[in-house]
A and B are shown apart, each in its own frame.
Chain A
């Protein structure tokens, strides 16, 4: 069991297939689970209602970044001391959560990123590794000045302080880069921890990558 100060945030958009299994496993670990149902059109909501978790509903689909921010704000409102961002698709391993929050508990970092590359635990399709993740990694480094081994697999843990300081304004997938930007802005101590990601699907395709780039550029232009 995890400390009751740890909260798990799961953004979910049309995840009826996998989310039940993920919640089942997570409930063995903690009751502090927040599912942000991002206007799913399938049975995600029904599936989640069967579990004793906190269910928040976005009336209109706003994207993963928006859902994470909603969940994080809710958890902080419940006095969470550590907030973990976890996926609903079952690709992340529940056993890795303890590893990812450890640096925060040991006061080594205020934000921890899961990395698919650190120890080679994850088997990543090679086209994805070299043609999507490598450019994304370099882009993040140039764009945000934060150098990580992995662009962002979406698995991260935030100490309360980081959760309060970081405000995700990128509603879509560009939030992952935006978070790095804010890590540097607020001088947060960060650390990477190897995690295992088991691929069912390919995830972000090349075309979506360009959508992320576009969002980031617009974000820069319109930033106050």
Chain B
């Protein structure tokens, strides 16, 4: 099936990216192992989709593919939430820095403004 080939090619690509990131040390060994395992699992499911049906029946979902989609949506929601919270924190941190710079420079300007008034 063509779809399997496309997906496998994509997974190989993804794993190669993970390996590259590990090589240039942007991710830790722990992250490297985690992501590699994740993509291998995805690859396994692509090659043997029947296995998902087995798990799906276990938890009471009709089709294996449905279970995968349910889980994917759940994980995505969680990740989006986490990203949102982190983004919010980053924004607030940027504000803190911008404020500190403004206040620091303002305090030095203060003198000139005060001198101006004396003249």
Contact = CB atoms under 8 A, between A and B. Distances in A.
Interface of A: 31, 34, 36, 52-60, 62, 66, 69-70, 73-74, 77-78, 169, 171, 218-219, 221-222
Contacts of A55: 106, 109
Contact of B98 (A66, A73, A78): A66
A57 B91 CA distance: 18
Contacts of B85: 221-222
B105 interface: yes
A34 B102 CA distance: 12
A62 B95 CA distance: 6
9 contacts: A53-B113, A54-B109, A56-B103, A56-B105, A58-B99, A60-B94, A62-B99, A69-B99, A73-B103
A157 B60 CA distance: 61
B103 A66 contact: no
Nearest to B99: A70
B13 to A, nearest CB: 34
B106 A54 contact: yes
A53 to B, nearest CB: 7
A54 B98 contact: no
Interface of B: 81, 84-85, 88-89, 91-92, 94-95, 98-99, 101-103, 105-107, 109-110, 113, 116-117
B106 A52 contact: no
Contacts of A77: 103, 107
Contacts of A57: 101-102, 105-106
A59 B109 CA distance: 16
Nearest to A60: B98
B89 to A, nearest CB: 7
A116 to B, nearest CB: 29
B106 A171 contact: no
Nearest to B105: A57
A52 B91 CA distance: 32
A74 B103 contact: yes
B42 to A, nearest CB: 30
Contacts of A222: 84-85, 88-89
User: Of B88, B95, B101, B103, which is in contact with the most chain A CB atoms at under 10 Å from its CB?
Assistant: B95
User: Of B102, B107, B109, B110, which is in contact with the most chain A CB atoms at under 10 Å from its CB?
Assistant: B102
Contact of A70 (B102, B109, B113): B102
Contact of B95 (A53, A56, A171): A171
A31 B117 contact: yes
Given A57-B105, A169-B92, A222-B88, A52 B113 contact: yes
A219 B91 CA distance: 12
Contacts of B101: 57, 59
A70 B84 contact: no
Contact of A73 (B92, B99, B110, B117): B99
